[in-house]
Structure 1
């Protein structure tokens, strides 16, 4: 297969903000991707392109997120830091749950750009939470504190080897991707989660036994393009034991990207006003630089 034939998939960036105490790249903002998720996407033959934030104090030229969304066939929203509670209208309950407002604005602008171009969007962990917020949902700032009966969804010691069961909802697209698999095992590396589901979305899997949404998808009846996400990290494997095979999820997303390449379905900004997220990102970074 030639490079021109291969799907080109965007991967949202993680941020390491400028730190004068950091011994390497002192005082510089870093944008990067985690290796496992890039390799997971590449495992199906797709090309992966990090989508950098085009604005900031070192910005030059006229490249925008819209240009990336026009050129690429779809985007995967990376995992990472907490979502800032202000992004869904709340105050942080604890100082260490402030999240990363600048990254939120960047991620919202990425979702907005790809949604406006009708390109498929897949979210992982933080990516699911950000998608839910972008389309009008809210989050638990901490599942154990705010969700009665919740079990532990994140163990900092075992990290990606911490697992729990999820129940796939019968009749959903995910149930068709995993026929005959009702309760499955996935990794769990998060302490925030969906509280109020975004309008127009369906829950495709719930954690067992505490019923926290673990997979969501936009209902096709809403008329928009492909938007789906998992709270677990499909790119991570298990050292021992069996966990859910992530290949059907990846193939489903890439099939949607292929269809969108052939017949794109341009949409609207999830924030109601075209390019609103991109403008908010630009304004926030200008304020940050003025300090």
Structure 2
């Protein structure tokens, strides 16, 4: 029998941005916030309800709804894939103009991570989401694997896109190894040209790419007693290809949703990744006010 809405988990999904474009024939000059349907359907596949978490500030903002309201109401959040992370978010200058990323989306995503972390709610990151979480907690990124990691394999192929794959080594003794017992190597998709360089303090790498040893999955260190669940993968668990099977990512989803279920009765200790409460939210508000 189908569960009623009141008994289903409510999972937030961070928004992708399409900034105001006067040349766009539809919604001309308007800012669009949206989700890619595969990731929403992936979360829904386990019976959870998905709610996009829109950016509450900007040129059309009205009312008093905040990201903290969403974090208090929802049971957890998934950080979406998408655009490059702006190098300024981790203290670097862009090495090339095409690697500028999306600073506004960075500020929004950082504020989302901050709000859910302060509420003690679980967070799961996908691709850009992994990179953003790493930056939020003090890590850095390679702006471009091909030019900054000598001997690296190809991690993004524009023509094959989500069918491009490589192997990962699962770190023994990690949470990921417990989820996939007796699995030392696994096949995953690979759709990124940026990646973790320095891992954020307090996080463990749970999987490395083979053979070039680039972080592919991270998890908040178990020693952080009481802190909320935070995990992320560089690959896209929502993309599946029956012609070329990859790791069973339903296991990852169930682990995240189980953490969300636990947090309903025992949320994690409130924690700001920026040490100062609501700092990312204030930065986002100031940045968008200047754009008016």
Q: Could you report, residue by residue, the CA deviation over 1:127-168 in whole angstroms, capped at 9, with x for unpaired residues? A: 000000000000000011111211110001100010000000
- Worse overlay, 19-28 or 260-269: 260-269
Which consecutive segments of 4 or more residues in structure 1 shift more than 4 A? none
TM-score (norm 2): 0.98
Q: 1:288 pairs with 284, 287, 291, which one?
A: 291
The residue correspondences of 1:61-76 to structure 2 (distance < 5 A) are 61-76=63-78
Q: Could you report, residue by residue, the CA deviation over 1:69-121 in whole angstroms, capped at 9, with x for unpaired residues? A: 00000000000000000000000000000000000000000000000000000
The Cα of 1:241 is off from its aligned counterpart by 2.1
The 8 Å contact of residues 10 and 48 in structure 1, kept in 2 or not, is answered as yes
Q: Which residue of 2 aligns with 1:165?
A: 167
Q: 2:21 pairs with 13, 19, 22, which one?
A: 19
Q: Tell me, in whole angstroms, the C-alpha distance in 1 between the residues paired with 2:133 and 2:245.
A: 28
The 8 Å contact of residues 127 and 229 in structure 1, kept in 2 or not, is answered as yes
Measured on the aligned residues, the alpha-carbon RMSD in Å equals: 0.6
The 8 Å contact of residues 122 and 228 in structure 1, kept in 2 or not, is answered as yes
Question: Which SS does the other structure have where 2:33 is aligned?
Answer: strand
Q: How many residues of Structure 1 are paired with residues of Structure 2 in the alignment?
A: 289
Q: 1:258 pairs with 261, 265, 272, which one?
A: 261
Q: Tell me, in whole angstroms, the C-alpha distance in 1 between the residues paired with 2:18 and 2:171.
A: 37
The Cα of 1:266 is off from its aligned counterpart by 3.3
Q: Which residue of 1 aligns with 2:243?
A: 240
5+ long unaligned stretches in structure 2:
none
The residue correspondences of 1:139-288 to structure 2 (distance < 5 A) are 139-223=141-225, 224-288=227-291
The 8 Å contact of residues 161 and 239 in structure 1, kept in 2 or not, is answered as no
5+ long unaligned stretches in structure 1:
none
The 8 Å contact of residues 139 and 196 in structure 1, kept in 2 or not, is answered as yes
Q: Which residue of 1 aligns with 2:89?
A: 87
The Cα of 1:188 is off from its aligned counterpart by 0.2
The residue correspondences of 1:90-105 to structure 2 (distance < 5 A) are 90-105=92-107
Q: Could you report, residue by residue, the CA deviation over 1:200-241 in whole angstroms, capped at 9, with x for unpaired residues? A: 000000000000000000012123110000000000001412
Question: Which SS does the other structure have where 1:279 is aligned?
Answer: helix
Question: Which SS does the other structure have where 2:208 is aligned?
Answer: strand
Question: Which SS does the other structure have where 1:4 is aligned?
Answer: helix
Q: Which residue of 2 aligns with 1:122?
A: 124
TM-score (norm 1): 0.98
The Cα of 1:269 is off from its aligned counterpart by 1.0
Q: Tell me, in whole angstroms, the C-alpha distance in 1 between the residues paired with 2:68 and 2:141.
A: 27
